[in-house]
Structure 1
Amino acid sequence: MPAHLYYPDDSDHQGHHRSASHSFKGRIRRASLSLMKGFAQRRDRRSSEPAVDGYLIQPSTSSSTWNRLRSATSFRHSRILSRQPSLDPVYAQLESSYVPDLPIPGNGNAPPIIPSNTGAAAKAAAAMQNEYLALSERQRQDGWSYIEGVHNDGESGIGISLTPSESNVDMVSEMDCSIPRIDFVSHLPPELVVQILSCLDAAQLSAVGRVSRRWNQTVSDQHIWREAFLREKTRTYATGHNAQPGTGCGIPPVRQGSDWRMIYKARHELEQQWTTKKQPQATYLNGHLDSIYCLQFDENKIITGSRDKTIRIWDMHLLQCRLIIGPPEVVNQTQILFDPNGKPLHYASSEDNDRACPSVPVTVSFPIHHKASILCLQYDDEILVTGSSDSSCIVYNVRSGYRPVRRLEHHTAAVLDLAFDRKHIVTCSKDITICVWDRATGALVKQLTGHTGPVNAVQLRDNTIVSCSGDFRVKLWNLDSGKVVREFMGHTKGLACSQFSEDGRYIASAGSDKVIRIWDANTGECIREIQAHESLVRSLHIDSISGRLVSGSYDTDIKVFDMETGEQVADFPRRHASWVLSAKSDYRRIVSTGQDPKILILDFGADVADIQCLESSRKRESVYDAGFI
């Protein structure tokens, strides 16, 4: 009989049974240990052992992963099974790829995979597993069930998608539907609803208006659109404050009965016209007999000064010349008004030279007048000031029909540019000096010297003057002390023009080197350099509201740049037959003049519906009531 089946004799049957049973169990245990020892040896010879029939045999050694887990945690299991549940193949797959020191949570209620280092790591792994199990239990109690799909990693829970169980669907549906069904427009007082909706922009208001008929009616409230317009469309680039309604900058006055939704739409479409490649409507005003050196305009009028020694005032809406001011020997000549065929010389024309809006302006000559070319001018609601090649300036009273008030004389050469505010008039000259005058009396306050070449341009902001000269330099002056505060060096040739932003932060300058430079007025740093034109840059204009910079050049081009980025926004080449001498802009138009005796109006709002609603509707100038017309 084989040794493993031999039983010794025993007179006690019960004792014999216990001994046989004990012997049989012992033999089975020894066989099991032998088998496990064999598996352990095979495991030592291989890097990993595959699962057998869905199970993985683990050796019962003191250094096993499970024993370390038992010693490091408070699990109450009293014995370790040598055969794990069917989840063990997952561990087998991870053992070859998991990184030591990083605990991997177990699947479901199974224990985590413990890093092979210290008990601290095992505790951390157990804590992670306990936290994961607690979360799972909370989600189960809340009515959520697991959907394991292709994005589920099967162990850590990452990628597991949660969906409400069937018992909780009704509750979730009710929650989802309750929020959008709260109609605050119906429940809140109308005044509060209007205040809330006033915080939205145009696109949001349009979307809100599609919610329901009630919401659409509420959104049509003029207060909502007025607040949206004033909040969004009055922001400025460099003025130090928001644009004020009714000041001629495309912000109409706030008055009862205005359709602010229409106003908003018109302004938005106008702004888009500036940024698209669509060309604005071009109109030429004809009537001057020689080069037009200077201009200024607003919503109602354009005032120009020319080499023909006259100042002409044009109606912006009718595109007609209304008044000519000049010396007697000029304005009394009949050929200033009619051509040899008897047709009026003042008319508007398109780029195709089609004549329109003919006019016969009033001509007037005063005892105080210029005897040479009008080189520069500026006006406001009260006065018009002109500078001439005759070395003098004349101050006119706008409200009395542009009658001259006084002449300013001190310069010894042509007055090339001028500027004024409520207190002072500043002029610059070919005699390389700058003069400061008292606006109210015309008295000379002081003369500034420091440039070594003709001072071609000057501007005034509070008590600060900026000037540029043929000596390549831009200078910043303190008006009170008469001293140079700062010089801006960088141009390589003589300068023809400079501009001050309205808030005094930026200065733009340009000239014979064909480059526009933008300076920080506070630091003197050149913050932007724009390779602008192919010839001398004769004119610059900063629109401090929009941040657009308009330039005109001897290359006959007019260009528009973004002050913030320096990028070119628009280009209008060859619109003049010769040099561009002056170019200015507002929210709607660019108006320019040149060596050819024509005024060019580029109107970006010509095709915008209801564009007139953006105008300030200021009263017509007193020239129409002064008896001249």
Structure 2
Amino acid sequence: MWDISSNSSSSSSVSPGPVKSKTVHQGSILCLGVSEDKSILVTGSSDSTCIVWSLPDLTPKPLVFRNHQSGILDLCLALQYCVSSSRDNTVRVWNHTTAKECHSLVGHSGPVNALDAEGPWVVSASGDTTLRLWDVRTGECLRTFSGHAMGLTCVKIQASMIYSGGQDGRVKIWDQNTGMCTMTLVGHTKLIRAVTCQDGKVVSGSYDRTLRVWDAKTGKCVLRYQSEDFGWIFSVLMNRTQMISAGQSKQIMALDFGLNSLTNHSNIEI
């Protein structure tokens, strides 16, 4: 766990060391999720398990979910459920207060690399090139989205729209209700590992070592940021004024952006 503070509107920083650190998993921790009330942390590991922790003390609860047959690739929390995806091609819905499985979501024919949730809806992105939309309450697959040329690596759902990226270097925007691709964002030259959105902007991070900001209405790339400090970009978060990215460079990159340019980035060694 790290302290993050915002010193001004044009900079942010991360403390030089972790506040708390725990070791319980027997393999690499590949993903985590936090409950909406910030009381629970769930970690997913290459050891095929998910562990539930109490926050802020980071104490492991006696809850371990062991139903996956291979490493956990992503997880998210939706309503009272934890949803986890795996190399075993499945998505599993389970109660994070009991670790009891509620639904096994079967349909993908490749590893399920990414998940995102909004309300009762969960969208899964797979190496089989498809997205699937699920209702976590019933376990029903509501829709399958096809259109990417290669496997998918990231996904975001917001306000009935779905944003996906993958090995084909494309970001696609989908209508959740119709299953139609409404726009394809072209510009990256390698795998897209991270995508997020807010206030009409879409941000994507790629193995081509660039961050791109897109206008979600026009599909135009309005900002492109590249630095020699960047390696492959693995993760991106954003709010109305800032982006934070992490990746191969072993640094957290905090970037502020205005209407026409990206300014004032700080590199924090971790």
Q: TM-score range by the shorter chain?
A: 0.7 to 0.9
Within 1, Cα distance between the matches of 2:228 and 2:107?
38
Within 1, Cα distance between the matches of 2:241 and 2:43?
26
- Aligned partner of residue 3 in structure 2, secondary structure: strand
Structure with higher Rg: it is 1
Q: Quick one: which of 494, 503, 507 aligns to 2:162?
A: 507
CA RMSD of aligned residues (A): 1.7
Q: Quick one: which of 497, 512, 516 aligns to 2:154?
A: 497
Aligned pairs, number:
248
CA deviations 1:399-433 (Å, max 9, x no partner) are 4x121222222111111111103311101011100
Q: Which residue of 1 aligns with 2:189?
A: 534
Q: Quick one: which of 370, 394, 416 aligns to 2:25?
A: 370
Alignment of 1:240-319 (within 5 A): 312-317=1-6, 319=14
Q: Aligned partner of 1:482: which letter?
A: G
CA deviations 1:372-404 (Å, max 9, x no partner) are 2221122242111221111111221114x1212
Q: Which residue of 1 aligns with 2:126?
A: 469
Q: Quick one: which of 210, 215, 227 aligns to 1:557?
A: 210
Within 1, Cα distance between the matches of 2:257 and 2:185?
24
- Tell me the TM-score normalised to structure 1 length: 0.38
Q: Aligned partner of 2:89: which letter?
A: I
Q: Which residue of 2 aligns with 1:570?
A: 223
Q: Aligned partner of 1:595: which letter?
A: Q
Tell me if 1:425 matches 2:82: yes
Contact 2:78 2:120 (8 Å CA) reproduced: no
Q: Which residue of 1 aligns with 2:175?
A: 520
CA deviations 1:512-566 (Å, max 9, x no partner) are 11111100010111110111301000111122xx122111101111111122221
Within 1, Cα distance between the matches of 2:249 and 2:27?
18
- Aligned partner of residue 431 in structure 1, secondary structure: coil
Q: Which residue of 2 aligns with 1:548?
A: 201
Q: Which residue of 1 aligns with 2:241?
A: 588
- Distance change >3 Å, CA 604–CA 510, structure 1 → 2: closer
Query: What 5-or-longer segments of structure 2 have no aligned partner?
Result: 7-12, 259-270
1:576 is displaced (CA, Å) by: 4.1
Alignment of 1:41-190 (within 5 A): none
Q: Quick one: which of 398, 407, 414 aligns to 2:64?
A: 407
Contact 2:173 2:183 (8 Å CA) reproduced: yes
1:441 is displaced (CA, Å) by: 1.9
Within 1, Cα distance between the matches of 2:73 and 2:139?
20
Q: Percent identity?
A: 36
Contact 2:89 2:108 (8 Å CA) reproduced: yes
CA deviations 1:79-109 (Å, max 9, x no partner) are xxxxxxxxxxxxxxxxxxxxxxxxxxxxxxx
Query: What 5-or-longer segments of structure 1 have no aligned partner?
Result: 1-311, 328-368, 606-629
Q: Quick one: which of 467, 488, 491 aligns to 2:145?
A: 488
Contact 1:538 1:553 (8 Å CA) reproduced: yes
Q: Which residue of 2 aligns with 1:197?
A: none
Contact 1:549 1:562 (8 Å CA) reproduced: yes
Bigger share in helix:
1
CA deviations 1:287-336 (Å, max 9, x no partner) are xxxxxxxxxxxxxxxxxxxxxxxxx4233246313414132xxxxxxxxx
Bigger share in strand:
2
Within 1, Cα distance between the matches of 2:75 and 2:228?
27
Contact 1:533 1:555 (8 Å CA) reproduced: yes
1:465 is displaced (CA, Å) by: 1.6
1:491 is displaced (CA, Å) by: 0.7
Contact 1:589 1:604 (8 Å CA) reproduced: yes
Contact 1:422 1:439 (8 Å CA) reproduced: no
